[in-house]
Structure 1
Amino acid sequence: MAGERAASATLSAASAGKAPRTDRGRRTLRAILDAAAIEFGERGFHDTSISGITRRAGVALGSFYTYFDSKDAVFRALVRDMSDQVRDYVTPHIRAAPNQIAAERAGLLSFIDFVRGHKEIYRIIDEAEFVDPASFRDHYQITADRISQRLEAAAARGEVRGDAPEVLAWAIMGMNVFLGLRFGVWGNERSAESVADVIAGLLAHGIALR
């Protein structure tokens, strides 16, 4: 199932009317997206060039235009692609958890693990606010919606409080984003497991003394 989602995401990444029709084309598109992630992550949007992306991907310059109309187009596609990669990485861990607190712990733990291997995601998403504000907003809105939906489902099961799921979803997402930045990008001196344990305790019991 995850493989099917990944393939679908790769197909939808191309500019309108330019989706690859063969396995070779899908591999080329994947190589371009992966190279673009490194180039944008290292150089930023303005200093990244299409030729730099294709050199890193090991494909001809013309191959880029087979799938993308412009640098802006591949950047927008990359924001969506990285969002999908995070979703596909963390979702199996969340679904395997026995209850919602454990699910949120698993989500944070797997997110930090993902970030440690894909630190460029922070620079790319941050730049999206200025390069393509719609993609920036969609990235966070879609993520928050997923969290809100699982909180609503957990509330229906009697596992968590049922009021204000949208507010709680944005709060959880905000924690995860900055914890990923601090313990995934800026340093890894503290284990992801210990960070996730602290937040699981916070979600279960709050911060007030008992």
Structure 2
Amino acid sequence: MPKTERGRRTLRALLNAAAEEFGEKGFHDAAISQITARAGVATGSFYVYFDSKEAIFQALVRDLSGQVKDFVGPSIAAAPNQLAAESAGQLAYLNFVRQHKEIYRIIDESEFVDPAAYREHYTNSAARIAARLEAAAQRGEISAGDSEVRAWAIMGMNVFLGLRFGVWGDEAPEAVVQEAGRLLAHGLSSPRASGEERA
């Protein structure tokens, strides 16, 4: 992280420009010269922060992961219970994706450009979800179960709902989250099959 405010602004401008460039063109067709042009900085300034196109791409993947965490985290923390937290996080994620649709292309390409960052993006997210679920189970807010399996299932749902309703569509996110929340709360069993009335 640069020590000066000016340096931090330049780094932020480069990362934002890289998100646009990689998001529009993909890794292989993106160019450092276009990243610096988008950022409004000299090409030489790029090499103060990164030594290659691969290096800024790797940094961008981790930066986007951090942005998702920072954007979604407060909504989760403010929720009154775990089921509400998952819905709040899902809604925040859908809103984030609509503002940063390029994230899907960038993360998907990272599987081939930087497999370690790709794996880290998902394993870190799953670990955070699993920790929340484990704590909620201990508080009695949700049933006990395999938190890792549940975390990956929830993350998979979030990722593909984000793709369908954040990138490809513009349906009301609240309705999407409400339906997904019912799935989390009640599963797929019908009240008749389970012998329970749905709340």
TM-score class, shorter-chain normalisation, is: over 0.9
- The equivalent residue for 2:176 is 195
Cα distance between partner residues in 2 of 1:193 and 1:179 = 12
Cα distance between partner residues in 2 of 1:73 and 1:97 = 37
CA deviation profile, 1:87-145 (whole Å, cap 9, x unmatched): 00000000000000000000110000000000000000000001111110000000000
TM score, norm. by length of structure 2: 0.95
Cα distance between partner residues in 2 of 1:153 and 1:59 = 46
Q: CA deviation at 1:67?
A: 0.5
- The equivalent residue for 1:113 is 95
Cα distance between partner residues in 2 of 1:206 and 1:163 = 14
- The equivalent residue for 2:188 is 207
- The equivalent residue for 1:143 is 125
- The equivalent residue for 1:31 is 13
- The equivalent residue for 1:97 is 79
- The equivalent residue for 2:153 is 171
SS in 1 for 2:29: coil
Q: CA deviation at 1:69?
A: 1.2
Question: Any runs of at least 4 consecutive aligned residues in structure 1 with deviations exceeding 2 A, and if so which?
Answer: none
SS in 2 for 1:162: coil
CA deviation profile, 1:50-83 (whole Å, cap 9, x unmatched): 1010000000111100011110000000000000
Cα distance between partner residues in 2 of 1:193 and 1:41 = 26
- The equivalent residue for 2:45 is 63
Structure 1 position 134 matched with structure 2 position 99: no
The total of aligned residue pairs comes to 191
Larger-gyration structure (1/2)? 2
Q: CA deviation at 1:21?
A: 1.6
Uncovered stretches (5+) of structure 2, i.e. residues with no partner: 192-199
- The equivalent residue for 1:6 is none
Q: Describe how 1:36-55 pairs up with structure 2 within 5 A.
A: 36-55=18-37
Matched AA of 1:154: A
Matched AA of 2:172: S
Q: Give identity over the alignment, percent.
A: 66
TM score, norm. by length of structure 1: 0.90
Cα distance between partner residues in 2 of 1:197 and 1:205 = 12
- The equivalent residue for 1:14 is none
Structure 1 position 157 matched with structure 2 position 139: yes
SS in 2 for 1:173: helix
- The equivalent residue for 1:183 is 165
Q: CA RMSD in A?
A: 0.5
SS in 1 for 2:190: coil
Q: CA deviation at 1:207?
A: 1.1
Cα distance between partner residues in 2 of 1:155 and 1:80 = 30
